Structure 1
Amino acid sequence: MLAQIVLFDGFDPLDVIAPYEVLYAGGVASGGAVSVELVSAEGPREVVSGTGGLALRATAALDPGRAGLVLVPGASGRVGEPGEVPGHDAGAGSCQRDASIPVLLGRTLTTELPALLTAATENPEVTVCAVCGGSLVLAMAGLLEGRHATTHHRGMDLLDATGVHAVNARVVDDGDLVTGAGVTSGLDLGLYLLEREVGPRIAHAVEELFAHERRGTVWRAEGPEPARP
């Protein structure tokens, strides 16, 4: 199983690194059943995050035609309202550090990423995943209407506004769409994906390796509706 983790300008490093390490360790534990690649819409390049100018290298272009997982992270940067980006002429790293998270997420819509993600959602052999604000990228691209998803608690209203059934859960499994809430949920999302796609024994081995116990119940649209008080 190939997991393509998407990098875009201003991405949140923990949204990328947490699931990357979990899935990579799952590949080692399973004898190569999982492989992980950092990709971007533009192809191989250095991509600057929204945290202190930290950069990671995308080694390939996002390919929605390849079976497996496509995982979209959120953004990190100045927390505030959308608007003009201070220091825009001071270089890409400075620009991303100064931009607010909504601006950084919104910029993804001006790239080739929405078209590539659309193709990924249309591929029956791909499960699209997101951590934190990555759900908002998908929602703003019009790809989550009528679906169940979660995101960081500050973005739940925006999910609702785009026609998504926002669920206040750590991880939400909606079939070929699996989403995680705040940034550290990338660990839980990665472990759940290992359990779902490779098996619980592999997931448990990685959980032990990282000394991290998953939090909360993975929400699915199954079972009886709970009674309202």
Structure 2
Amino acid sequence: MHAQIVLFDGFDLLDVIAPYEVLYAGGAASDGAVDVELVSAEGRREVVGGTGGVTLWATAALDPERAGLVVVPGAAGRVGTPGETPDEDAGARTPDEFLSVLLGRAVQTGLPSLLKAAMDRPGLTVATVCGGSLLLGLAGLLKGRRATTHHLALETLAETGAQVVPARVVDDGDLVTGGGVTSGLDLGLYLLEREVGPKIAHAVEELFAYERRGVVWRDRGPAPSAP
């Protein structure tokens, strides 16, 4: 399985690094059944994150024709609504910019069309960490889909047309979404279990000395009774 993790200006560092390390370790534990790379909509470039200006290098362009898994992180910034429009000509972001601004900028790039192509391609799974589902929602790609995000943004996610499920990880078939920022670990381990097998996922859990939290929500079984 070839995994591509998307970088965009203002990305959240842990949203990227947590699933990257899990998937990379899964590839090592499975003799190469998984490989992972960092990509951007624009191709090879240095991408500035939203956490203290830390930069990562995208080694290739996001390519839905090559990937079996595409992981979309959220942005790192303040939750809320900005009181004024930022100066788009300034060229630099401050570390405390609002998430809505950072995600809004990403939606104005070529990223949404590539993500739509990924979601339309049979056999490809799109996964998100934290605000990554908001990015998909703002791009109009989550209407009617079951998804989750950070607990402070569940209402905003619902406004994009998604069917919100307040779970740590939500499996909606070819769309798998994670909640808060640390859910990238849980998401990565679940994807390893689902795509490669529980033995590989368990080996990575042992390596990282981390146990997944919560039940992965899937559309199976009877619905719970009303309290």
TM-score by length of 2: 0.96
1:160-191 Cα deviation digits (max 9, x unpaired): 11111100000000000000000000000000
Q: Which residue of structure 1 lines up, in the alignment, with residue 47 of structure 2?
A: 47
Q: Which amino acid aligns with 2:114?
A: L
Q: Which residue of 1 aligns with 2:143?
A: 145
What SS does the aligned partner of 1:169 have?
A: coil
Is the partner of 1:57 in helix, strand or coil? strand
Return the letter of the residue paired with 1:4. Answer: Q
- Is the contact made by 2:148 and 2:164 (CA closer than 8 Å) also made in structure 1? yes
Structure 2: 5+ residue stretches without partners: none
Structure 1 residue 213: Cα displacement: 0.4
Segment of structure 1 superposing worse, 33-42 or 100-109: 100-109
Separation in structure 2 between the aligned mates of residue 183 and residue 201 of structure 1, nearest angstrom: 25
Amino acid at match of 2:85: E
Give the one of 172, 189, 192 matched to 2:190. Answer: 192
Cα deviation, 1:78-123, whole Å, max 9, x if unaligned, reads 343134237962x53xx15242111101111110000000100110
Deviations 1:52-86 (CA, angstroms, capped at 9, x unpaired): 00000000000011241001000002343134237
Any idea what the Cα deviations from partners look like across 1:131-182, whole Å, max 9, x if unmatched? 0000000011111111100000111111111111100000000000000000
| CA displacement 1:36-66 (0-9 Å, x = unmatched) | 0100000000000001000000000000112
Matching residue of 2:23: 23
Q: What TM-score results when the alignment is normalised by the length of structure 1? A: 0.95
RMSD over aligned CA atoms reads 1.3
Q: Distance in 1 between matches of 2:148 and 2:191?
A: 16
For residues 162 and 118 of structure 1, what CA distance do their matches in structure 2 show?
15
Whether the aligned pair in 1 keeps the contact of 2:4 and 2:67 (CA below 8 Å) is no
The structure whose residues are more often helix, as a share, is: 1
Counterpart of 2:112 in structure 1 is: 114
Stretches of 4+ moved more than 6 A in 1?
none
SS in 2 for 1:97: coil
Matches of 1:211 and 1:98, distance apart in 2? 32
What secondary structure is seen at the aligned counterpart in 2 of 1:39?
Answer: strand
Query: What are the equivalent positions in structure 2 for 1:1-229 lying under 5 Å apart?
Result: 1-82=1-82, 83-85=84-86, 89=90, 91-92=91-92, 95-229=93-227
Do the aligned residues in 2 keep the contact of 1:10 with 1:96 (CA within 8 Å)? no
1:49·1:96 contact (CA, 8 Å) conserved in 2?
no
Between the two proteins, the alignment pairs up a number of residues equal to 226
Cα distance in 2, alignment partners of residues 221 and 34 from structure 1: 26
